Amino acid sequence: MPNSRALVIKSIKKGETSLIVSCYLEDIGLQSFIVKGVFGSKKPKFSKAHFFPLNIINLNYSYRVGKGIGFIKEVKSENLYKSLYSDIQKSSVTLFLSEVLNSVLKEEAEVNGDLFNFILNSLYWYDQVKTCNNFHIKFLMELSKFIGFYPNIKNNDSYFSLDSGTSSKFKPLGISIEGNELKEFKNFLGMKFEDLNLININNESRIRILNYLIDYYSIHLQMFKTPKSIEVFTEIFK
């Protein structure tokens, strides 16, 4: 049976004792599994903590190509997060990003090693840093690079079109970003994760940029759904 590192995207309870878990695997991409023996026993075979959103695990699994759902035989956590689930703000960001990835990876379901490593390395960094209010914005911008619609903005242009993903000197049709909002948006593009706290914007601007990014993803990904957690999530940053 194959072994692989995997990122837990989503899990839902099935029956009295089992979970259906959607994972993004390093070797085969997006795959759903049934996990038996999680509930209903004093000594469950698997801990439900293994299947928290965006947990990174090692799987021993079986599945048949084209047969849908697979089975997890053994699982262990790859790395125990220090703060991702215990910090209120970080746990809200984690839930929000898991919903984003649930939509995105349905359209990017095949193996993409660069994307897999980007997600893992970003989460490891976020877990280690004390605080970073801008992480989710930078993550969404960088994620768009791996799925083909990273913003293309020229320094001297005055508008950025969400529809075309490019900038222009004249106001385009559809939704566009301009003025100070465009300046704030552009600040994130060339910034490294470790320098994000140097971006000084207020919570109102941060939420506005996030809403632009949600619209941007909705325009460019047919299966993208606005995360249900966004309302609670944005309240955390007020």
Over the stretch 150-179, which tens digit does the pLDDT of each residue have? 999 998 899 999 999 999 999 999 999 999
222: its two tokens: 């047919």
Least confident of 12-16, 19-23, 134-138: 12-16
Whether 228 shows a pLDDT value over 70: the answer reads: yes
Whether 37 and 56 map to the same domain: the answer is: yes
Whether residue 118 sits in one domain with residue 51: no
Does some domain include residue 176? yes
Give, for 10, the enclosing helix (H) or strand (E).
Answer: strand 3-14
- pLDDT score recorded for residue 3: 82
Q: Are residues 65 and 161 in the same domain?
A: no
Lowest mean pLDDT among 37-41, 182-186, 213-217: 37-41
Residue that wins the pLDDT comparison between 185 and 46 = 185
Number of domains, the chain:
2
Task: Give the position of tokens 């997890």.
Answer: 72
Name the domain boundary from 58, 77, 96.
77
Q: Provide the pLDDT for residue 188.
A: 94
Residue 82 lies in a domain: no
Task: Assign 139 a pLDDT band (cuts: 50, 70, 90).
Answer: very high
Closest CA to 133 of 225, 9, 227, 233: 233
d(CA 178, CA 159): 5
User: What is the spatial distance between Cα 12 and Cα 18, in angstroms, rounded to a whole number?
Assistant: 9
Give the DSSP H/E element, type plus range, for residue 120: helix 113-128
Which CATH number characterizes residue 62's domain? 2.40.50.140
User: Which of 42, 77, 112 is the endpoint of a domain?
Assistant: 77
Is 150 exposed, middle or buried (CB count within 10 Å of its CB: 0-12, 13-18, 19+)? middle
Whether residues 124 and 181 share a domain: the answer is yes
Residues 107 and 211: their CA atoms lie apart, in Å, by: 21
CATH assignment of the domain containing 220: 1.20.1440
Are both 69 and 28 inside the same structural domain? yes
Indicate whether 117 belongs to any domain.
yes
Which domain range does residue 185 map to? 88-236
- Identify whether residues 61 and 122 lie together within a single domain: no
Burial class (CB in 10 A: 0-12, 13-18, 19+), 86: exposed
Q: In the 8-state DSSP scheme, what is residue 176?
A: E
Per-residue pLDDT at 55: 95
Same domain membership, residue 145 and residue 98: yes
Q: Which parts of 149-190 fold into alpha helices (H)?
A: 179-187
Residue 8 DSSP label: E
Task: Give me the mean pLDDT over the 94-112 stretch.
Answer: 88
Residues 220 and 110 in one domain: yes
Burial of 79 per CB tally in 10 Å (0-12, 13-18, 19+): middle
pLDDT over threshold 70, residue 148 = yes
pLDDT for position 238: 64
Q: Is residue 36 part of a domain?
A: yes
Tell whether 32 and 133 lie within a shared domain. Answer: no
- CA dist 108 and 183 (Å) reads 30
Is the confidence at residue 98, as pLDDT, over 70? yes
Please state, for a pLDDT cut of 70, what percent of the chain lies above it. Answer: 95
Question: Tell me, what's the pLDDT at 65?
Answer: 66
* Same domain, residue pair 30 and 123: no
Residues 159 and 223 in one domain: yes
**Does the pLDDT of residue 66 top 70, yes or no?**
no
Residues 102, 220 share a domain = yes
